[in-house]
Amino acid sequence: MAGALLTGSGDTSSATAASGTSITVPRPTSTVAGDRLVAVVHGRNNSGPYTAPPSGWVLLGHPAETTVGWVGVYVHEVPSGGPAASWVWAGGSGRHTAVVARSQDLAPISSLVDVVGAYTTLIQASTDPRVVLSEVVTSESHTLLLAVASINTTDASPTRLVPPAEMTTVGSVNTATGASDTGLTVAQALQVPSGATGTRTLRPPANTPAGSVGSGMGWLLALKTVNKPSIADTTAPTISIAEPASGQVVAGTVTISGLVADDVGVDYVDVTVGGVALGRATIAGSTWTRSWDTTARGNGSVTISATARDTAGNTASATRSTTVANGSAGGSLTPLALAPRDRPRDIAQMDADLDVVLAWLDANGL
């Protein structure tokens, strides 16, 4: 599944600290100048944000503090001089976990601060412990949904949560201390239509010992994307021909026009007449137009075809039959008479002895 956070080799990094007041997170090895990085940092015993985050990192937001600690989402734009080797979040308490990921298509940091989030705590059911994240409502048509969840276990078993099928894991890390364990899972999904996204449920792995999950929390938030994410688009555009009307008789220069639409974006509309390319149409909103000089072809019935292509390469076509009926192109020069006044005595006298009368006849012989 495509997403705004990259998950390939070298695109993410993670770190843990079993105790102390800080956590040091290495940079993803593929990080370059100009990258926008997203960091999710969790402090198991924090009562609030880290008091000394690394320079250049902006805190987007965080849910209310709970008994399972504090979690925050930060963003950072790597300066032209390149990334630091690592970053330190200081001023925390207890166990710490963090995941950092490179991004694509995220909006500038100045507009990312308008995040919309929904927070929840672990549903502590003995047979099905889970973190159910409530729907997020946003007016943005393309956003990155980021699910952040953390749980604690009482037997030091791994606490990496499994996201629902419609989400992919960006990073997952856990740290054990004695007979208990704290884990952090970050997952993502792309929201294409605006509005409610529905719930997202994260569960411990199936092999988690029964009764071992003690507490947990989760946060689902929406981040703006600056470009439409690279989602597989398999929906063809729609196209129709409005003018000329079916069976209409045309002459001279006419305009071929119609409507075109696509769920992502129309790339172009090509027009052919009788199988011969007429050229690319002009698109304005949902209307396309193309001028056609009908005198460039013979009279008679002809088929107009318009083919729309969207930005993903999907195509659709529409056809229309019309009749070309242009008038005669004009008359011709016709000699009316060539009468000798006198029989010429020799060729040299031809010009003087012949009267040539020419007349211009129209198509009706008049």
Comparing 317 with 180, which gets the higher pLDDT? 317
Taking the C-alpha atoms of residue 144 and residue 77, their distance in angstroms, rounded to an integer, is 18
Comparing 350 with 70, which gets the higher pLDDT? 70
Query: Both tokens of residue 340?
Result: 């000798």
**What integer is the mean pLDDT of 300-324?**
91
- Whether 356 has a pLDDT exceeding 50, the answer reads no
Which range of 34-43, 68-77, 318-327 scores highest in mean pLDDT? It is: 318-327
- Whether 272 has a pLDDT exceeding 60, the answer reads yes
- Whether 353 has a pLDDT exceeding 60, the answer reads no
Digit-coded pLDDT (tens) for 121-162: 555 555 666 667 665 655 555 677 777 777 776 655 556 677
Task: Point out which residues pair with 319 in neighbouring strands.
Answer: 305
Query: 42, 150 in Cβ contact below 8 A?
Result: yes
End-to-end CA distance of the chain: 77
Share of the chain above pLDDT 90, in %: 27
Taking the C-alpha atoms of residue 144 and residue 279, their distance in angstroms, rounded to an integer, is 39
- E strand or H helix at 352, and its extent? helix 350-353
Q: Is the peptide bond before 158 cis (omega within 30 degrees of 0)?
A: no
Confidence of residue 359 (pLDDT cuts 50, 70, 90): very low
Comparing 216 with 323, which gets the higher pLDDT? 323
**What integer is the mean pLDDT of 349-359?**
45
Domain ranges within the chain, ordered by starting residue = 12-224, 238-324, 332-361
Tell the CATH topology of 238-324. Immunoglobulin-like (2.60.40)
**What integer is the mean pLDDT of 102-128?**
60
Q: What is the pLDDT at residue 65?
A: 54
Query: 69, 13 in Cβ contact below 8 A?
Result: no
Digit-coded pLDDT (tens) for 281-311: 999 889 999 999 999 888 999 999 999 988 7
Min mean pLDDT across 84-88, 251-255, 345-349 is at: 345-349
Digit-coded pLDDT (tens) for 175-226: 756 556 677 778 777 665 555 556 667 676 666 666 666 666 677 777 766 5
Instruction: Give backbone dihedrals phi and psi of 82, rounded to 5 degrees, phi first.
Output: 100, 170
Confidence of residue 327 (pLDDT cuts 50, 70, 90): confident
Nearest in space to 150 (alpha carbons), one of 50, 217, 69: 217
- Whether 336 has a pLDDT exceeding 50, the answer reads no
Q: What is the pLDDT at residue 122?
A: 58
Q: What is the pLDDT at residue 362?
A: 43
- Whether 241 has a pLDDT exceeding 70, the answer reads yes
Confidence of residue 237 (pLDDT cuts 50, 70, 90): very high
